[in-house]
Amino acid sequence: MVSFFIPFFQLVVLFLGGQWLLNEKMGRREFWVQLLIINLIGQGLYPTIKFFAIFFVVLYLLIYRLFKTKKFFFSVIASGLPLITMVIGDYLSQLILGISGQSSSLSLTWEQSVVLETLMMGGFTLSCCYFLKSLFKKMNRFPALEKRYQRLVLVQVSLLILLLYANIYAGEKQGFSSQHIQLTSLLFIAYGGLLIWSAGNLLLVVIKHAKLEQERMANQQIYDYAYKLEQLYQELHHFRHDYLNILVSLGESIRQEDLDGIKGIYDRVIQPTEKLVKGRDYIFGKLYQMGVLEIKSLLFEKMVRAQTEQIDVRLELEELIDTLYVDVFPVYRVLAILLDNAIEGAKEATIPYLSISFLQGEGIQQIEIENSCKEEEISLTKIYQPGYSSKGENRGIGLATVQQLMEADHYITLQTFYDAGVFRQVLILKRQG
């Protein structure tokens, strides 16, 4: 019974820990099917190749997760990190039980000792995976790691796995003496601490780089915004000069009761100015009410892009917003994705338009994005799944990222509505504290 329970429990922990890291929801049937497959692989190969059978299990899990998520880096991490924590947890539980047995009169049978050690190992592994899951949620607020950083992390994980199993192989040859277990446990603790330290530094570098990149983009967008305002000022200056001349001519025609002259001035001069007054460029003037520079620059960039695509842009921003109720970085990322999707959707509509409105109340800020789109069936329950998109296969990555950001920050929520060719999303920001 113990010979079946131990590997079964270890494989459950290995599989469950990886699913936690990926933050992937899974049906009960799929869970048991995958658990059955990895048990057939692991327990089927163990009598022949011993502990090396675990590598075939991990390889299968890597392929399975890569097929589901299309994310190589996180598939490797979710398959490798639980294995690392399991091995370290196994050594630590052996060390703790060995020390406890020497310092107390506690007497356990071999079976009791193995079961307790396995349970301790499983608790340690799942605790580490839960902690790493929380860390990954925070990292989801920032752009993905650059390729060079991903390679560095993968090399560290691979080297640690090789080190662990080389040590296991050496320990098996020596009969896993108590001295070997103690020295190995200390070595793994030291290496694990070094790995955590390097990962922490890497996370700080990524965060700093992401913020610097955002500031660079924001500065460029603010420069473009200032240039656009300067152009609008020049147009207003010329309009003011022409307007004064129009008043003089119009006044003279009125004094002479020259109806044809008045009509001519209106047709030649006044009526064409309607296009200037209602010109789409003047919508940018409303952005002065947005005091958060990062959001102002983002709105400017997306509005320019929408107008380039011949989309009618409407902006409602009647009240000064000088700060956001939540951290600006996740809002920036979510808003960028929603606006990109809105522009893509509006491009396919018969009458393309994009409407953006900001409302501010007591403890709540609301950003509403509405766009026209082609009339088709859209599943609001599927659009946030990784890879799902009404535009084609594997193009729905953006909204999956939005869903992760929603889960990482409890003060940001999103409501989605669709009706007859009109798609509307409402981003709600709740004041923290």
Residue 244 lies in a domain: no
Residue 370 lies in a domain: yes
Q: 412: which residues sit within 8 A by CB, 6+ positions away?
A: 326, 330, 331, 334, 405, 406, 427, 428, 429, 430
Tell me, yes or no, whether 206 and 302 share the same domain: no
Q: Residue 196 has what pLDDT?
A: 65
Question: How many domains does the chain contain in total?
Answer: 2
Question: Is residue 415 packed enough to be buried (19+ CB in 10 Å), middle (13-18) or exposed (0-12)?
Answer: exposed
Tell me, yes or no, whether 299 and 403 share the same domain: yes
Distances (CA, A) of 424 to 268, 286, 372, 415, 419: 41, 21, 9, 8, 9
- Considering 212, 238, 265, which residue would you say is the last residue of a domain? 212
Mean pLDDT, contiguous 10-residue spans, the chain (433 residues): 77 88 80 90 85 87 87 84 83 73 61 81 86 68 61 76 74 64 69 68 69 69 63 60 67 75 68 54 70 82 84 86 85 88 90 91 90 77 58 51 72 85 90 72
Distances (CA, A) of 243 to 176, 196, 231, 258: 94, 69, 18, 19
Tell me, yes or no, whether 307 and 192 share the same domain: no
- Considering 168, 183, 212, which residue would you say is the last residue of a domain? 212
Residue 224 lies in a domain: no
Q: Residue 369 has what pLDDT?
A: 94
Whether the predicted model's global pTM rises above the 0.75 cut: no
How many CB atoms neighbour CB 113 within 10 A? 17
Looking up residue 287, the CATH number of its domain turns out to be 3.30.565.10
Strand ranges in 283-407 using DSSP code E only, listed in sequence order = 312-316, 353-360, 364-372
Tell me, yes or no, whether 178 and 304 share the same domain: no
Residue 111 structural domain: 2-212
Strand ranges in 236-352 using DSSP code E only, listed in sequence order = 312-316
Residue 28 lies in a domain: yes
Tell me, yes or no, whether 184 and 303 share the same domain: no
Q: What is the bridge-based pairing of β-strands 312-316 and 353-360?
A: parallel
Question: Residue 315 pairs with which residues in a beta bridge?
Answer: 356
Tell me, yes or no, whether 205 and 284 share the same domain: no
Residue 112 lies in a domain: yes
